[in-house]
Amino acid sequence: MSPSQSVLLSYFDSEEHVLDATRAVREAGYAVHDVYTPYAIHGMDEAMGLKSSRLTWVCFGAGLLGTTSALALQYYTSVVSWPLNVGGKPFNSFPAFIPVAFELTVLFAGLITVAAFLLRTKTFPGSKREALPRVTDDRFVLALRADESDAKLRQMLERHGALEVEQMEVAS
């Protein structure tokens, strides 16, 4: 990891153009740093060659943790700590514990998954990170890990509708 790295930013004005360009440069063997878009583009993960997120597993684990915690809490309070005889019902009245177990499953899974997302993508309140101009509005930016000198690449980008191509040093 070098302290700074060079990326080539190319601006596009539509979803179709940026998708085509991303596919083309990847096929030509260039390394895609990232693509910045105002909304989620379907098919972009495929074009960039991203693997499916492992956050689904986090969600599954968190849900399991929620179920276990809820059942353990209810068992402990109703059977171990303070067994209360209500109309002769069993202390460990499992069916009665299902609603709370379900709710806590959802609660744990939801909160932990979002927390994991924020950690993984390094988004948090007070982040100093800024967006490139107009990327959250109406522009699409393809960022490549490439050198300026490559004229063939520039040509290819322009052929796919790049409005502007700019070299930029970024902290890596």
> What is the footprint of other proteins within residues 32-91 (CB under 8 A)?
33-45, 48, 50, 52-53, 55-56, 59, 63, 73-74, 77-78, 81-82, 84, 86, 89
We find the least distance from the C-beta atom of residue 63 to other proteins, in angstroms, to be 8
**What three-state secondary structure class fits 10?**
strand
Q: Quick one: which of 72, 93, 147, 150 contacts other proteins (CB under 8 A)?
A: 93
Provide the CA 128 distance to its chain's centre, in angstroms.
19
**Rule CB under 8 A: which of 103-132 touch other proteins?**
103-104, 106-107, 109-111, 113-114, 117-118, 120-132
Token couple for 26:
């990847």
What are the structure tokens assigned to 69, written together? 């915690």
Complex with other proteins: residue 32 or 153, whichever CB lies closer: 32
Residues of this chain, 138-167, that bind other proteins according to CB under 8 A:
138-139, 143, 163-164, 166-167
Give min distance, CB of 70 to other proteins, in A: 8
If binding means CB under 8 A, how many residues of this protein chain bind other proteins?
86
Other C-beta atoms closer than 10 Å to the C-beta of 105 total 20
Distance in angstroms (rounded) separating the CA atoms of residues 17 and 50: 19
State yes or no: residue 171 binds other proteins (CB under 8 A). yes
Minimum distance from CB of 155 to other proteins (Å)? 19
**Smaller CB separation from other proteins, 93 or 155:** 93
Strands (E), 13-163: 32-36, 140-144
- Other beta carbons less than 10 A from residue 61's beta carbon: 15
- Candidate list 28, 31, 72, 100; residue touching other proteins; CB under 8 A: 100
Pairing of strands 32-36, 164-171: unpaired
Tokens encoding 27: 């096929």
How many other CB atoms are there within 10 angstroms of residue 114's CB atom?
Answer: 14
